Structure 1
Amino acid sequence: MILHEKIAEQLPAWRERMKALAKEHADVVVDHVTVGQVVGGMRDVKALVTDISYVDPAEGIRFRGMSIPEVLKALPKARGGKMPLVGGLYYLLMVGEVPTREQALEVEAEWARRAEIPDYVYKMLKSMPKETHPMTLFSQAVLALQNSSVFAAKYHEMKKDVYWEAALEDSLNLTAKLPLLAAFIYRMKYFGETKKMKYNPRQDYGMNFARMMKVEDKKGYADLARLYFILHSDHESGNASAHAMHLTGSTLSDAYYAFSAALNALAGPLHGLANQECLAWLLDVYKKFGGVPSRDDLYKYAWDTLNSGHVIPGYGHAVLRVPDPRFTAQMEFAKKNFPQDDLVRLADLVFEVVPQVLREQGKAKNPAPNVDAISGTLQYYYGVREFDFYTVLFGVGRALGVTANYVWARALGWPIERPKSLTTKMLEDIVAKAKQAVN
C-alpha cells in the first residue's frame, strides 16, 4: 500500500530528528506562559508539535507547507470535476508530498475497498430516537465501528515501533466509511430513509458522497464536497477537535475511540456551530430586507447588530490577520458556479461592509472573514438546508487531518499527554511574588 511504503521510507530520518530534540535539547525553553494564558484556555501556548498543518497569520492554513491556493492547484483533479481528489489531499497530509494522479487514485481505491459498513451499525442507528442529534448519531456510529479496530486487536502483540502501521489501517478503514455514515444519517434523520448505502468503486470520495446525498446537482455538489472536505481537513493541533483526538490517542486508544472524542469536541457550540450561526445571520438579513439590501442598509444593520450587544458571526480569527484563504476559496467557487444566487451576493456584500464596520468599532483584532462566513451558504445553495447537519460535514473533513496526525503521533512515539495543574491559590501566590520582584 502506497501510504505505508512512503511513511516507512521517511520514518528513520524523522525518528532521528525527534530523538535529537528530546536528548540533546530537552532543556531549551520554548515558550513563556502568562497567567492570562493559563486562565484563558491556554490560548497560543506553544505546547504541541505537528508537521501536518500550520496556520500562518499572514497567509492562513498551510498543509504540509503548502498554502490553500497551492494545494488546490497542485493536487490531481477528479475526473469530470474542477476540484482535487480528496485521496490526493490525504496522501499529501500523510506523506508530505504532492501525489501523482496514480498515487491519489490508489488512496481512493483503498477507501473504496474498505467502505462497507457492518449491518449492526445500521441497526443501531435505526434504533435511536428520531430526535437524536446527527452528531450524536455520527459519534455513536464511529464508536460502534471500534469492534473492527486493527490497533486494538493487535495491541498486546505489537512492538511500539509498528504501532503506526495498525494506526494507519484503522485510519484508512475509518475515513473510508465516513461518507456512507454521514449520508445514511442525513437520509434517515431528515427523510426517514433507511436503505443501506453502497460505495461505488468507480467513483471518487466526493462523487460517492454527492451521489448518496439528496441533492439534485450531484456533479456540482461533488466538487463542493471535495473542496469542503479539503478545506476543513486540518487546522493545527490546538483546536478542540484536533486536540481531543491527540489527547485521547496519546493514551493509545485506537482511532475510533479518539475520533469519537474529536467529534464530541466538535459538537460543542464554541467549535462546530459557527457556520450555522453565520448562515442564520445572513438569512435574517435577507428576510428583514426582503432580498439583498443596499450597501448603506447593510452598513446600518451591521452597526445595529453590534450596538445591541451581539457579534457578527463569521468575522474574526484567533490567529489570522488576513481574510481566511478557506473563505476565499469557497467564495471563488460560488462566484464561478452560481454568481447570481442571492445569498452568495449577500455574503459578498457582507464581505465588503462588515470588516469596515468592525474596524470602525475598534474591538476586533482581525475584522476579516473566516471559513464559516461562507461555508453554510454553499451547502444551502445545493439544498442541504438542515443546519444541525453541517457539523457532521465538518467532521467528515476534519477526520482527514486528525487521523494523519494520529498516525504520525504513533510513528514518532509521542507520549501520553499530562500537563501540570495549579490551584487558584498557587496562581495568586505566583502573581504576588511577581509583584514583589517588580517592587
Structure 2
Amino acid sequence: MGMSDLKKGIQNHLLELQLEIDEIFAKGRDSVVAEVSVGQIYGGMRGLVALACNTSYVDPYSGLYIGGYTTDEFSDKLPEEIFFLLSTGKFPDKESLVNFQTELNKRAQVPQYVWDVLRSLPKDTHPMTMLSLGILSMENESVFKKAYQKGLKKMDYWQYTLEDAMNILAKLPALAGGIYRIRFGDGQLIPHDSGLNWSANLAHMLGVNDDEGFADLMRLYLVLHCDHEGGNVSAFTSRVVNSALSDLYYAVSAGLNGLAGPLHGLANQECLRFILNIHEKLGADPDEDVLRTHILDVLNSGHVIPGYGHAVLRVTDPRFTAFMNFGESNCASSPCFKIAKKLFSIVPDILMHYKEGKVANPWPNVDAMSGSLLHYYGVNEFDFYTVLFGVSRVMGFCAQNILAQGLGQPIIRPKSVTNKWVIDRLNAQA
C-alpha cells in the first residue's frame, strides 16, 4: 500500500479545503475581514490576520487544536498519527498507520555524506546549525526539484512536495540522534531499528536512556510541539521559502533557522535554567513563602518568569497540563519536577496581582514543564533541546507546505511601506 492511503487522504482533504475557499470567495473575495493598525506595522505584525492555515489553530481559552481535535484528544497519539492528521484532517486507521510507518522505515537511512559534513564542523558547532545543515546538505536528493526541472504541472506540486516530506521526516530521528552522539557523545552512531516507531527510534538513537518512560516522553514531546498555526517565525519562514518553489529541503532548513532564534525556540532552556537556579539557591523542596519572595525579587529586578505568559493563550496551556500529568506518573519525586509544579501553584497568583494585575496572561505555557522532564531522563545538554523542538515542528512545516501547494497558493509577497507613507496616511485621516 505504501503511501496510497496518505495520498488519498490528502487529496480528499484538498478537495474539502478548496470547496471552503470557493465558498469564501463566492461570499466576497474583496470583502474586508480585518484591519491593520500602525502598531501592528511597527510591532512585528503581531495579531495581524493575513494568513490562512488549516493544519492547526490556537484558541485563547482552550489552546491548540489540530484538525479540530483538542490537545486532550490527540496527546495520546503517535507522531505518525499526528502528521497524518495535520496533512489529511483525519487520523489514520490501523492499516494506514502501519503502511505509513513501513514507508518511513524504508526511507530512514541517512546518506554517509551527511555524516561526513557534520563531522567536519568545528566541535563546538551548535546542534541546530548541524540539524539545519544536515537537512540542507541533502537538498540534491529533492524529488520535487528533479521533477520540476523536467517540467511539472502545478496541480502535481503537492505530490512531489509530499515525497520530499516523507524523505525528510523518515531521516529526522537518525539525523537528530546522530547529531547528539557526535556533538555530546562518543561519536558512535546507533543504528535505526525498524521495529520501533518514529519517536521510539529517536529515543533509541539518542542513546541517553533505555527507560520506556523516556521513549514515551519523546512521543509526547514530538506530538505536543508539532504545529502552532502559520504565523510563528519558523512556520511562516518555511512557508514563505516554499512559496517561491524552493523545495522542502530549503524550506525546512530555513524554518529551523528561525526556530534557532532565542526569541522562538530557546524558551524551554530558559525555564529549566530558572528551575535549576532555584534548586541551587533554595534547595530541592523550597518553602512556599521563600519561593514566593524569590519570585517577587525576580520580578522587581525587571525580569520575567520564564514559561509564564503566551502571545495568544489566556489560560494554562493544555500542553503544559499534558506534560505535568506525564511528570506525575513518571517522575513525581524529581526535584526539578517538584519545583516546576510548585511554581505553577504560586506564580499565576503572584502575576495576577503584580503591578495591579497588568500581566495579560499569568498562566504557564508548554515550556514551563518540558525542560524539567528532559532533564530527569538525562538530556542535560541545553543546546540540544531546540533540536527536539525542531524535529517535532518539521511535521507542521511539511504539512502546511504540502497543503499550500495542493491548493495552488501563490508566492507570498506582502506590501511594505515607508514611514512617510504612514505619516501621509495619518495626516489624511486627521
Match of 2:62 in 1: 59
Match of 1:318 in 2: 311
Alpha-carbon distance in structure 2 between the residues aligned to 1:254 and 1:47: 23
Alignment of 1:12-411 (within 5 A): 12-22=15-25, 25-72=28-75, 83-156=76-149, 157-195=151-189, 197-361=190-354, 362-411=357-406
Q: How far 1:15 moved relative to its partner?
A: 2.7
Do 1:7 and 1:94's aligned partners in 2 also have CA atoms closer than 8 Å? yes
- Partner SS for 1:413: coil
- The code of the aligned residue for 1:293 comes to P
Q: How far 1:409 moved relative to its partner?
A: 0.4
Do 1:211 and 1:218's aligned partners in 2 also have CA atoms closer than 8 Å? no
Alignment of 1:423-438 (within 5 A): 423-434=418-429, 436=430
Q: How far 1:433 moved relative to its partner?
A: 2.8
Please list the CA deviations of residues 189-216 of structure 1 after superposition, one character each: whole Å capped at 9, or x if unmatched: 0123143x43211110121111111223
Alpha-carbon distance in structure 2 between the residues aligned to 1:334 and 1:359: 26
Structure 1 unaligned residues grouped into runs of 5+: 73-82
Q: How far 1:432 moved relative to its partner?
A: 2.6
Q: How far 1:20 moved relative to its partner?
A: 4.6
Alpha-carbon distance in structure 2 between the residues aligned to 1:36 and 1:391: 30
Structure 1 window deviating more from structure 2 (98-107 vs 183-192): it is 98-107
Q: How far 1:259 moved relative to its partner?
A: 0.4
Identity %: 46
- Partner SS for 1:62: strand
Alpha-carbon distance in structure 2 between the residues aligned to 1:313 and 1:139: 26
- Partner SS for 2:57: strand
Do 1:210 and 1:219's aligned partners in 2 also have CA atoms closer than 8 Å? no
Q: How far 1:426 moved relative to its partner?
A: 1.4
Structure 2 unaligned residues grouped into runs of 5+: none
Alpha-carbon distance in structure 1 between the residues aligned to 2:24 and 2:77: 36
- The code of the aligned residue for 1:37 comes to Q
Give TM-score, length-normalised by structure 1. 0.94
Alpha-carbon distance in structure 1 between the residues aligned to 2:251 and 2:22: 26
- Partner SS for 1:3: helix
Q: How far 1:110 moved relative to its partner?
A: 1.5
Alpha-carbon distance in structure 1 between the residues aligned to 2:111 and 2:148: 23
Do 1:88 and 1:103's aligned partners in 2 also have CA atoms closer than 8 Å? no
Match of 1:11 in 2: 14
Do 1:180 and 1:209's aligned partners in 2 also have CA atoms closer than 8 Å? yes
User: Which of 417, 420, 423 is the matching residue for 1:422?
Assistant: 417
Q: How far 1:93 moved relative to its partner?
A: 1.0
- The code of the aligned residue for 1:309 comes to G
- The code of the aligned residue for 2:103 comes to E
- The code of the aligned residue for 2:389 comes to F
- Partner SS for 1:106: helix
Distance 1:425 1:91, change over 3 A: same
Alpha-carbon distance in structure 2 between the residues aligned to 1:135 and 1:167: 23
Q: How far 1:148 moved relative to its partner?
A: 0.6
Match of 1:75 in 2: none
Alpha-carbon distance in structure 2 between the residues aligned to 1:130 and 1:118: 21
- The code of the aligned residue for 1:353 comes to I
Do 2:12 and 2:88's aligned partners in 1 also have CA atoms closer than 8 Å? no
- The code of the aligned residue for 1:417 comes to I
Please list the CA deviations of residues 130-177 of structure 1 after superposition, one character each: whole Å capped at 9, or x if unmatched: 011110011000101111101001013210001000001100110111
- Partner SS for 1:277: helix
Structure 1 window deviating more from structure 2 (388-397 vs 360-369): it is 360-369
- Partner SS for 2:307: coil
- The code of the aligned residue for 2:270 comes to E
Q: How far 1:232 moved relative to its partner?
A: 0.3
What is the RMSD computed on CA atoms of the aligned residues?
1.3
Alpha-carbon distance in structure 2 between the residues aligned to 1:216 and 1:93: 30
- The code of the aligned residue for 1:365 comes to A
Please list the CA deviations of residues 83-125 of structure 1 after superposition, one character each: whole Å capped at 9, or x if unmatched: 4222111111111112222222222211111111111001000
- The code of the aligned residue for 1:164 comes to W
Alpha-carbon distance in structure 2 between the residues aligned to 1:216 and 1:189: 17
Alpha-carbon distance in structure 1 between the residues aligned to 2:331 and 2:94: 28
- The code of the aligned residue for 2:260 comes to A
Alpha-carbon distance in structure 2 between the residues aligned to 1:11 and 1:50: 13
